[in-house]
């Protein structure tokens, strides 16, 4: 609470409405509008552009400065010096682990990488061409059928066990989705491998040949997981918090996050970026697509550009661009035609008055797809990779929320529908004449 008050003068009200304000450690102060209901008002903020839905200590974003902190640590420092599992520990527990704590955490995650053997039977119900995000929504939600021993969400120990299980098993399930689509046998995790290395082993190894994973590709994969780990109250994290506020079990909550992330405006953008680059096909076509993106009457948007919060560069995109160059050099793909289109597109967008005025910069999804394609990951697996990395962020916010007194999330509305009217018998009723699309 601050000693600053917000005073709201509303025409027709005898007295002004006084509202408390709160100050965080960083970022804008907030106005507590809960008192408005008693005065007969709701706030109105479609898309929650100006709404702080909760208090949190996990991640801070300053869109104007292109700043992203996880528990106070800048994302570029974590990407340079840390790894995904250490960042998971930081997001979950609030501090960087000691050497011993880090080793214990890695050991715990490593020993939870296998999934119940029955899970493999779930995949038989999916056609081979099922979208892997459809499979992940279903299978992650179904995990709650296997873990009755840790579903008491009021028990912090149960919450942390569920967190460990989800962080550990997401790569295994993601790789199973890919193997199912390829008609290849599932590969078991190898507990001698690192987290990202193990994932690439499960993706591309087979019982007949299991080549050593390139350390450069394993490091790039780990960095992709790290850069996607958390991002404040984005759409999917807000969904997980809302689902968790009803008391739903952690697996159901994470499945709701996966479903939300799937949209092309959110985590589905990396898949959409690749499709867009392939549709553009050649740098000579870029101007026509940029014109489409600027045309108000054309729904086409440059996928991988723009962000609700970053009105300056997305710090993750900067790191991802460097990783992209490293991976393509490692694979001898520096002249990848899609990369040429992406780099030219970025250059045009950064110079074009439309994009400058609307503050549209490349976001985290712009380069990640090119890296994943170069590694050999199919486009429809990109959002599954995003979901795998983001699972720790979802579960950290879920755990943080349940550590406090939780009210079920239940927004209100501005109602503009029909006023009360009486039912009429169908006989003789006039045609409804409405769109029944």
Residue 131 or 301 with smaller CB distance to ligand SDX:
301
Q: Which stretch binds ligand SDX (CB under 6 A): 23-31, 78-86, 262-270, 369-377?
A: 262-270
Rounded to a whole number of angstroms, the minimum distance from the CB of residue 110 to ligand SDX is 26
Rounded to a whole number of angstroms, the minimum distance from the CB of residue 372 to ligand SDX is 15
- Options 93, 112, 131, 266, the catalytic residue: 266
Position among 226, 269, 276, 319 found at the interface with ligand SDX (CB under 6 A): 269
Residue 196 or 303 with smaller CB distance to ligand SDX:
303
Q: Tell me, residue by residue from 275 to 314, as one string, x for binding to ligand SDX by CB under 6 A and - for no binding.
A: ------------------x-------xxxxxxxxx-----
Q: What are phi and psi of 154, to 5 degrees?
A: -85, -10
Residue 307 or 399 with smaller CB distance to ligand SDX:
307
Please state, in angstroms and rounded to a whole number, the distance separating the CA atoms of residues 235 and 405.
22
Rounded to a whole number of angstroms, the minimum distance from the CB of residue 219 to ligand SDX is 21
Rounded to a whole number of angstroms, the minimum distance from the CB of residue 166 to ligand SDX is 17
Q: Which stretch binds ligand SDX (CB under 6 A): 65-73, 143-151, 259-267, 408-416?
A: 259-267
| 110 binds ligand SDX, rule: CB under 6 A | no
Collapsing DSSP to helix, strand or coil, 25 comes out as coil
- Options 228, 365, 397, 399, the catalytic residue: 365
Q: What is the 3-state secondary structure (H, E, C) of the chain?
A: CCCCEEEECCCCCCCCEEEEEECCCCCCCEECCHHHHHHCCCCCCHHHCCCCCCCCCCEEEECCCCEEEECCEEHHHHHHHCCHHHHHHHHHHCCCCCHHHHHHHHHHHHCCCCCCCCHHHHHCCCCCCCCHHHHHHHHHHHHHHCCHHHCCCCCHHHHHHHHHHHHHHHHHHHHHHHHHHHCCCCCCCCCCCCHHHHHHHHHHCCCCCCCCCCHHHHHHHHHHHHHCCCCCCCHHHHHHHHHHHCCCCHHHHHHHHHHHHCCCCCCCHHHHHHHHHHHHCCHHHHHHHHHHHHCCCCCCCCCCECCCCCCCCCHHHHHHHHHHHHHHHHCCCCCCHHHHHHHHHHHHHHHCHHHHHCCCCECHHHHHHHHHHHHCCCHHHHHHHHHHHHHHHHHHHHHHHHCCCCCCCCCCCCCCCCCCCCCCCCCCCCCCCCCCC
Q: Tell me, residue by residue from 365 to 404, as one string, x for binding to ligand SDX by CB under 6 A and - for no binding.
A: x---------------------------------------
Residue 122 or 366 with smaller CB distance to ligand SDX:
366
Please state, in angstroms and rounded to a whole number, the distance separating the CA atoms of residues 348 and 311.
17
| 363 binds ligand SDX, rule: CB under 6 A | yes
Rounded to a whole number of angstroms, the minimum distance from the CB of residue 336 to ligand SDX is 20
307 is catalytic: yes
Rounded to a whole number of angstroms, the minimum distance from the CB of residue 67 to ligand SDX is 13
- Options 164, 201, 307, 399, the catalytic residue: 307
Q: Which stretch binds ligand SDX (CB under 6 A): 6-14, 73-81, 265-273, 334-342?
A: 265-273
| 135 binds ligand SDX, rule: CB under 6 A | no
397 is catalytic: no
Q: What is the number of the residue whose Cβ is closest to ligand SDX?
A: 306
Residue 336 or 365 with smaller CB distance to ligand SDX:
365
| 231 binds ligand SDX, rule: CB under 6 A | yes
Rounded to a whole number of angstroms, the minimum distance from the CB of residue 390 to ligand SDX is 7
14 is catalytic: no
| 265 binds ligand SDX, rule: CB under 6 A | yes
What lies within 8 Å, CB to CB, of 150 at 6+ separation is 157, 158, 161, 162, 165
Footprint of ligand SDX on this chain (CB under 6 A)? 231, 234, 265-267, 269, 293, 301-309, 358, 360, 363-365
Active-site positions? 266, 307, 365
């Amino acid at each position: 609470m601050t000693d600053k008050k917000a005073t709201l003068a509303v025409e027709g009200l005898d007295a002004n409405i006084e509202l408390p304000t709160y100050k965080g450690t960083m970022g804008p102060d907030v106005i507590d509008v809960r008192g408005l209901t008693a005065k007969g008002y709701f706030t109105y903020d479609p898309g929650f552009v100006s709404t702080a839905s909760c208090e949190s200590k996990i991640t801070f974003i300053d869109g104007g400065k292109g700043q992203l902190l996880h528990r106070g640590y800048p994302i570029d420092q974590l990407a340079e010096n840390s790894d995904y599992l250490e960042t998971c520990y930081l997001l979950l527990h609030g501090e960087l682990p000691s050497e011993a704590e880090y080793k214990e955490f890695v050991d715990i995650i490593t020993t939870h990488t296998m999934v119940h053997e029955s899970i493999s039977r779930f995949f038989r119900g999916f056609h081979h061409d099922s979208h892997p995000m459809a499979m992940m929504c279903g299978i992650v939600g179904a995990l709650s059928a296997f873990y009755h021993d840790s579903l008491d969400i009021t028990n912090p120990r149960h919450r942390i066990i569920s967190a460990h299980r989800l962080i550990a098993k997401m790569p295994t399930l993601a790789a199973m989705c890919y193997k199912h689509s390829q008609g290849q046998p599932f590969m078991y995790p190898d507990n001698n491998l690192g987290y990202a290395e193990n994932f690439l082993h499960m993706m591309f190894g087979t019982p007949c040949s299991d080549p050593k994973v390139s350390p450069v590709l394993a490091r790039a994969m780990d960095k992709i997981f790290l850069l996607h780990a958390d991002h404040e109250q984005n759409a999917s994290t807000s969904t997980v918090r809302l689902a968790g506020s009803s008391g739903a079990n952690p697996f159901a909550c994470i499945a709701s996050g996966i479903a939300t992330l799937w949209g092309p405006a959110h985590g589905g953008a990396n898949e959409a970026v690749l499709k867009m680059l392939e549709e553009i096909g050649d740098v000579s076509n870029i101007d026509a697509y940029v014109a489409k993106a600027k045309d108000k009457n054309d729904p086409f948007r440059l996928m991988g550009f723009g962000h609700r919060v970053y009105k300056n560069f997305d710090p993750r995109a900067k790191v991802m661009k460097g990783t992209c160059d490293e991976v393509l050099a490692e694979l001898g793909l520096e002249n990848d035609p899609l990369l040429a289109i992406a780099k030219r597109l970025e250059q045009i967008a950064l110079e074009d008055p439309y994009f400058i005025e609307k503050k549209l910069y490349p976001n985290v999804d712009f380069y990640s797809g090119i890296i994943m394609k170069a590694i050999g990951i199919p486009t429809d697996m990109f959002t599954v990779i995003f979901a795998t990395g983001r699972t720790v962020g979802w579960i950290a916010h879920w755990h943080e929320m349940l550590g406090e007194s939780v009210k079920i999330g239940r927004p209100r509305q501005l109602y503009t529908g029909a006023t009360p009217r009486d039912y009429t018998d169908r006989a003789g009723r006039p045609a409804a004449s409405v769109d029944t699309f």
